[in-house]
Amino acid sequence: MKFEYFIAKRIIGSKSYKSSVSAPIIKIGITAIAIGIIVMMIAIATGIGLQQKIRDKAVAFNGHITITTFNSNASDESEVPMSINQEFYPEFKTVEGITHIQGVATKWGLIRTETDFDGMVFKGVDEDYNWQYFKEFLVEGELPKFEDNISNDVLISQYLASRLQFKVGDTFQMLFEKDGVDKLPFIRAFKVVGIYNSGFQELDETYMLGDIRHIRFFNKWEDDQIGNFEVFIDDYSQLVQKEEEIYQNISSFYTSRTVEERYATVFEWINIFDKNIYGIIGIMIIVAGINMITALLVLILERTQMIGVLKALGSNNWSIRKLFLYNASYLIVLGLFWGNLIGLSLLFAQKYFKLFPLDPSVYYVTEAPVYISASYIIALNIGTFVLCLIMLLVPSYIITKISPVKAMRFE
């Protein structure tokens, strides 16, 4: 066992150490480390969790990348059809990393009841539609099933169900515009088979899902025509790269757009979270480091006579500095232990019990989502430990200025 480590261990284990003048300062330093790691873990977990949750909800309604005709406008209604018979459908073999591609179409309509009305976008989907995301959003009933005959089953949002007092099994009428101002609208009766709640209120109050064959009939399209393609990829970090590859591998009559381009305002907002996370981490490490510097200086002051004796016995400055750095390392580890214990407990409690709700009209989610990963927790702990220890190298330099003769007389 090294000499410095042996002395540091004896100091930490001594009763006088725990009841000394520096004890309250040491406890404050440990508490600062613990609070710092708790705040940093919560900031990272909720920041990344919120980003991923909002991103996944936007992807659920539009896919990662959409392929449309150049003539299509930016509205929520499909106006110019495109053929589903493409080289890249049903499998996009020329671009790697694409997990699924599906054809959809949208048309705005007006829902009417005996006492109320509301406008919604009817999103027509086919048998190739990927219901993976909506299985998670489903709160009541079941997902629509489309077979040989055109289906009147629809999936509506909980927002719409609450607004118009709909429940599973209810039927309602929806009006769709015909070409020409003087023509009477199309009227369709739909049956509610399922109710979903994504928590993304902007989208929940916009979309209902049903059979695409209704839109083909309203728009006088052929059976092989759709409004646009929705493409899903396996690695979100390659979104821009995959969009460029897709654009290079589709017809010159078509264009592609990422989900971030479609909802630019939302994604600009959630990207600000990264700056907030970095800011919180920086502030917490500085605060924790300053508290540990204070604790180390008090420890050095309290052990001035011991420093003098060690120097008189032949110990060099670096050896004594290492002794106190070992001592400080123990305090940092102790703070990290309690911080991780409390922080992870809070995160898992939020993940499984949803203790802290959020306003979906502001945050696009109903509760604070958390992202828990061993990689960032380990990196955060190692980073905090190393940075705090580096910050302690400067105040430990004061040991080199202590004279053995004066130190042994110090009281």
Before 90, cis peptide (omega within 30)?
yes
Q: Report in angstroms the alpha-carbon separations of 172 from 113, 126, 176, 185, 380.
A: 7, 22, 13, 15, 54
What is the pLDDT at residue 199? 86
User: Using one digit for the tens of pLDDT, what is the confidence trace for 198-239?
Assistant: 988 889 999 999 999 999 999 999 999 999 999 999 999 999
Mean of the per-residue pLDDT values of the chain: 89
Residue 407's pLDDT band (boundaries 50, 70, 90)? low
The more confidently predicted of residues 295 and 376 is 376
Of 322, 288, 338, 302, which is closest to residue 18 (Cα–Cα)?
302
The more confidently predicted of residues 222 and 298 is 222
Residue 396 to residue 352: CA distance in whole angstroms: 45
Tokens of 399: 């040991």
Of 3, 1, 4, 30, which is closest to residue 325 (Cα–Cα)?
4
Of 170, 173, 153, which is closest to residue 111 (Cα–Cα)?
173
Tell me the whole-structure pTM to 2 decimals: 0.83
Q: Would you say residue 66 has pLDDT above 90?
A: yes
- Kindly state the DSSP code that residue 172 receives in the 8-state scheme: E
User: Using one digit for the tens of pLDDT, what is the confidence trace for 323-364?
Assistant: 888 888 989 999 999 999 999 999 999 999 989 888 887 888
User: Using one digit for the tens of pLDDT, what is the confidence trace for 141-193?
Assistant: 999 988 889 999 999 999 999 999 999 999 999 999 887 556 788 999 999 99
Q: Which residues pair with 176 in a beta bridge?
A: 109, 186
Contact in structure between 273 and 312 (CB atoms under 8 Å): no
Residue 4 to residue 7: CA distance in whole angstroms: 5
Q: For residue 208, what are the contacts with CB-CB under 8 A and spacing of at least 6?
A: 120, 121, 122, 123, 154, 155, 156, 157, 160
Tokens of 246: 């897709």
Contact in structure between 285 and 387 (CB atoms under 8 Å): yes
Q: Which residues pair with 357 in a beta bridge?
A: 367
Residue matched to tokens 């719409």: 160
